[in-house]
Homo-oligomer: A and B are copies of this chain.
């Protein structure tokens, strides 16, 4: 699969089907950009109406090209796309970028054409990028391909960028001379009819010229495969994602609390964090972090020092660092002694180190060197607001010359002229940041990446214990009992009875007990008044059953029978649940339970491909988890039992693909610290 993508970035020859002599047309601008950027391979423009375009030979038909074509870029009008693809296939072209739009994104008709074209290409052993995309770039000197219609000359670097939106890709390329992002590869994947982020992740992982992978996505083509790439340790380069389309709507028609709380955007955030990917909030964060990975060593720890000539921006930087959970480094006494000789007496030798507006280029260099050499420091944020008396360029270049194996991220707030001067004259061209709050996010992303354990053991699916058909129903109590037994889930014992049997069974369980009215029409029992707790004797039992019957009657609900179970006094109520995300597959939830779960929403979700660490994280990231682990010296609950239940529930979700949602709610924690699942609902597709 990797090999099949190579020609998209490393073609020796390209054919531009639909090259044009008409200025401002895509077919013209694309070819112009290719020529302008200096592509090193052979170029075969195709246009039935001309022999020459932009000074190079143009072919009337694809068949007229006798040489081998590594890559075809198709920009012909929609009407001619299928014909063009057929000809490319007949010429044995394996890599096709279809830029033309008007397919799946326009409706059913377009979708069916797109599907047909894609099948043809795949059947012929080829790969398709697009349709509805804006091309590819490889900046390496050996290739020098800018096959997009943004006529910029991107600088070479080691960042790969995939954009699901062509326009967003264009916006990023438009601003390159302001943002100074250095791409290795750029690709716009459009409708992702064939090549998707999953292919490119694998490709870039294997391409040594790429150090950092950045993605703009509006949807995941196959979320479960995406995360498995990470779960299986196949991807270990830094991956940054800007995911747009953050609808907060929960699962369509969710019937469980778990489903209702598992909105698609929460799922995306959860899996991204779980597998060590970085989710960024906007383009600035995305590329700032990519620059961080590209140009700086990874920080070893979270202790940061701020160096500045400006109080206000330093405070803003510190706020941002603290918000991200980073710490201000405590400088060593020896460092402070040396700083005292450099820093103005009215400045500060404590962190943030303040050189005052008079701080010179030499002082900035010495101070950065000193703090970077301090063992208590893991990274430096150096802030410079350009004053009248000290030119920014000198300061920045001096700091660039500091030798350190720690990241030194510079924030510069200069007069506008500085940026061009730096672009042209800098010897180092180290990325700079424009706002004091920016480095915090970069550092935290780098640190998170550094701390991922890529060899961690995770749960794996095994054989399902029940043979289930996808038939949209709830599991019966006996099926649930089977699952509970197999997965060692502490389901409370319970009996389903009709009215007349109530008296007998209570002897077996003993008092106090809980009585529940059963009805296939009732989803949340306590809301329907179907639950009576702490029933202490037979009279109370009969009374409660009559009361429940009455309530059902009043609500027009059919009473299918009763369920009794032992009454356990709850010290806490928790929820453990699972659901199947349409893209990412089996998910697991843990949190505060009871009837108000959705109001409190004190829950954590993760992909069911759990590691031990994931389970610990789920517990510690919720308030109820903190309470169970012992707040203010309270006695600790048996947390390892809790972990086993979460793990078993995840295993169950992994094993039984037919289960769409399940709620164990409440799971009661008794005052002895034991766990009892007192209500379990499991739904099949």
Contacts and interface: CB of A to CB of B under 8 A. Distances in A.
Nearest to A310: B167
Contact of A315 (B149, B218, B248): B218
Interface string A107-150: 00000000000000000000000000000000000000000011
Interface in A300-339: 309-313, 315-316, 319, 322-323
Contacts of A2: none
Given A24-B389, A313-B168, A599-B631, A319 B435 contact: no
B248 A322 contact: yes
A208 interface: no
A170 to B, nearest CB: 5
Interface string A159-195: 0000111111111001101100000000000000000
Interface residues of A, number: 74
Contacts of A26: 388
Interface in A605-649: 623, 626-627, 631-634
Contacts of A632: 524, 527
B600 A319 contact: no
A422 to B, nearest CB: 14
A223 interface: no
Contacts of A29: 388-389
A357 interface: yes
Interface in A335-390: 346, 356-357, 385-389
A282 interface: yes
A492 interface: no
Interface string A207-241: 00000000010100000000000000000000000
A544 B149 CA distance: 82
A195 to B, nearest CB: 18
A404 interface: no
Nearest to A438: B282
A151 B105 CA distance: 52
A283 B170 CA distance: 27
Contacts of A171: 310, 312-313, 385, 413
A566 to B, nearest CB: 21
Contacts of A283: 435
Contacts of A245: 315, 319
B600 A170 contact: no
A414 B167 contact: no
Contacts of A600: 600, 602, 623
B313 A165 contact: yes
A246 interface: yes
A440 to B, nearest CB: 11
Contacts of A244: 312, 315-316, 319
Interface string A3-43: 00000000000000000000011100100000000000000
Contact of A175 (B166, B388, B416, B623): B416
A284 interface: yes
A416 B150 CA distance: 12
Nearest to A103: B346
Contact of A413 (B25, B174, B631): B174
Contacts of A435: 282-284
Nearest to A390: B24
B623 A174 contact: no
A678 interface: no
Contacts of A102: 346
B388 A312 contact: no
B386 A174 contact: yes
Contacts of A386: 170, 174
A524 B631 CA distance: 13
A437 interface: yes
Interface centre among A152, A165, A631 (most CB of B within 10 A): A165
Contacts of A152: 415
A507 interface: no
A66 interface: no
A101 interface: yes
Contacts of A177: 416
Given A102-B346, A245-B319, A319-B244, A312 B596 contact: no
Given A170-B310, A600-B600, A601-B623, 14 more contacts: A25-B389, A26-B388, A149-B387, A149-B388, A150-B388, A165-B312, A168-B312, A168-B385, A170-B357, A171-B312, A218-B315, A244-B312, A244-B319, A247-B322
Nearest first, the 6 closest Cβ-Cβ pairs linking A and B are A165-B312, A167-B310, A168-B312, A171-B413, A24-B389, A244-B315
